A and B are shown apart, each in its own frame.
Chain A
């Protein structure tokens, strides 16, 4: 009886997993089919490999697709460095220092976790266009340098609080100031939190479409999501194969981040409940 139950449960879970991942698998398979066959079959069996979908797609836009991947990589790298530096600094202050109005500032910080970017995008755009930063990567990177991804501040605060205070005290007795305690003691111990931040920042920034669409209108500055979207607009019925090919290419970094950082991703959302 219990055995039958277990078998049924596994059968259901496996079926569901297949159903959920099927569209993604179908996209991968379709990217290797001739365009005129894609919409004739829902199956996953390939007759041959239409590899030229990838080479055609790669060169279908004004610049080779690699150009947009480099642009995305620059934005992602800037965002990661910005988040790591600024959020860890803020987190140290909230977790370890006493200061005037701490409770209120902390509450404000938590509140901004839930603030949608759409609410602030208009004045932010006006500000960045006044300083001439539209069509540069700065509006996408500078906010990260200023700890505006508050979930990471919160994640790191939680992590630092769990570290024994005796370590700081010992260092302080040895005459270390806060910058030194932060750099020499806290930072090396919070590597797991930094890893979680890195991976989430990577995935979110790579996927982010809204702000990249708004700030990057010059095709030369397009990042992967914006380029992919212009591909969709330019595609007339015929080249679905190469469009799927570039969609697959655009998801490869996410897959890799998922494979490498799964542990940190799961732990990250489990402790702070972020997506």
Chain B
């Protein structure tokens, strides 16, 4: 049962018979969590909503400036670049990553010899992918004299500086995200295990070929997991930061081609100490992610199949 399934179940169930309440004990056990909610998560969200309507540079007290920050967004060219870059990154890399994850999970399923070796080999990159070291490595292998060009040179193809060229810089980061398909793959593998073998046996008896079995059995029964991975990876991709930061030396360049939304937010907030505008940007990010998630949930009604 995934967190999303849990949320959906929560919405569907309407409390059982009333049980004895233990408010005092519960409050004590939840005390750290409540404090965290107030100070670290929900509280700051509320505060940043207020700050979004101010001009604040950390030194002078915040000054209310109405809708200025939001008007500024409309004409902020760099913000528009950041949105374009981030949407491209999310919309291209997540489907590719999930397709690889599902494809490999299907290949690895059911008693394949060496399964745990392959699973480890494919999973390892998703543990390394967000580290600075791998971002450094990426910068080097896709550089003008990097490993990729040397390999291309062996087969007689003239490469280029993939990262210094604005038209390809983002692609290298997309490749990096696809490279981390191991985590959703492991989730798919766990999901595939839940599908009873007898469904396939029965279908085979009825003469269904593997493609039909895949479409009629695997896809519907796996659809909640596909949905879960989709929601999770979309949210995850929106938050990418380290790779673009390291590869571009913090600038988002060349010519803003790797300016992820989070990187732009970082620049405004922590290079320029433009905290009011950064708060407004943070809220826009929250709205965008919530919007994407809501669309995912809405679309899910059409293609996600629930057994019960």
Using CB atoms and an 8 Å cutoff, list the residues of chain A in contact with chain B: 9-10, 12-13, 16-17, 20-21, 23-24, 26-27, 39, 41-42, 85-86, 89-90, 92-93, 97-100, 102-103, 105-127, 129, 143, 145-148, 151, 153-154, 158, 177-178, 182, 203, 206-207, 209-210, 213-214, 224-225, 228-229, 232-233, 240, 243-244, 247-248, 250-251, 254, 258, 262, 265-266, 269-273, 275
Contacts and interface: CB of A to CB of B under 8 A. Distances in A.
A93 B33 CA distance: 10
Given A42-B150, A122-B282, A266-B119, A23 B137 contact: yes
Of the listed residues B25, B29, B150, B262, the one surrounded by the most CB atoms of chain A closer than 10 A to its CB is B29
Contacts of A244: 136-137, 140
A177 to B, nearest CB: 8
A119 B45 contact: yes
Nearest to A117: B239
Contacts of A20: 121-122, 125, 179
B128 A103 contact: no
Contact of B30 (A93, A210, A213, A229): A93
Given A23-B147, A124-B44, A270-B189, A129 B121 contact: no
A142 B145 CA distance: 44
Given A115-B41, A251-B128, A270-B186, A214 B26 contact: no
Contact of B282 (A92, A118, A248, A251): A118
A146 B235 contact: no
B238 interface: yes
B213 interface: no
A258 to B, nearest CB: 6
Nearest to A130: B58
* Contact-size category for B: 35 or more
A122 B269 contact: yes
A120 B41 contact: yes
B26 A93 contact: yes
Contacts of B114: 10, 13
Interface string B6-21: 1100100001000111
A259 B70 CA distance: 49
Nearest to A246: B133
A266 B118 CA distance: 13
A244 B147 CA distance: 14
21 contacts: A12-B107, A13-B108, A17-B122, A23-B138, A98-B26, A103-B15, A117-B239, A119-B45, A119-B282, A119-B283, A120-B40, A120-B45, A120-B282, A123-B51, A178-B22, A214-B266, A228-B133, A232-B139, A250-B131, A251-B131, A272-B2
A119 B150 contact: no
Nearest to A182: B29
A90 to B, nearest CB: 4
Contacts of A146: 32-33, 35-36, 39-40
B91 interface: no
A116 B285 contact: yes
B123 interface: yes
Contacts of A224: 132
Contact of A110 (B6, B20, B130, B242): B6
B275 A126 contact: yes
Contact of B32 (A129, A147, A151): A147
Contact of A118 (B39, B130, B265): B265
A229 B246 contact: yes
Interface in B221-239: 228-229, 231-232, 235-236, 238-239
A269 B186 contact: yes
A98 B31 CA distance: 15
Contacts of A24: 124-125, 128, 134, 137
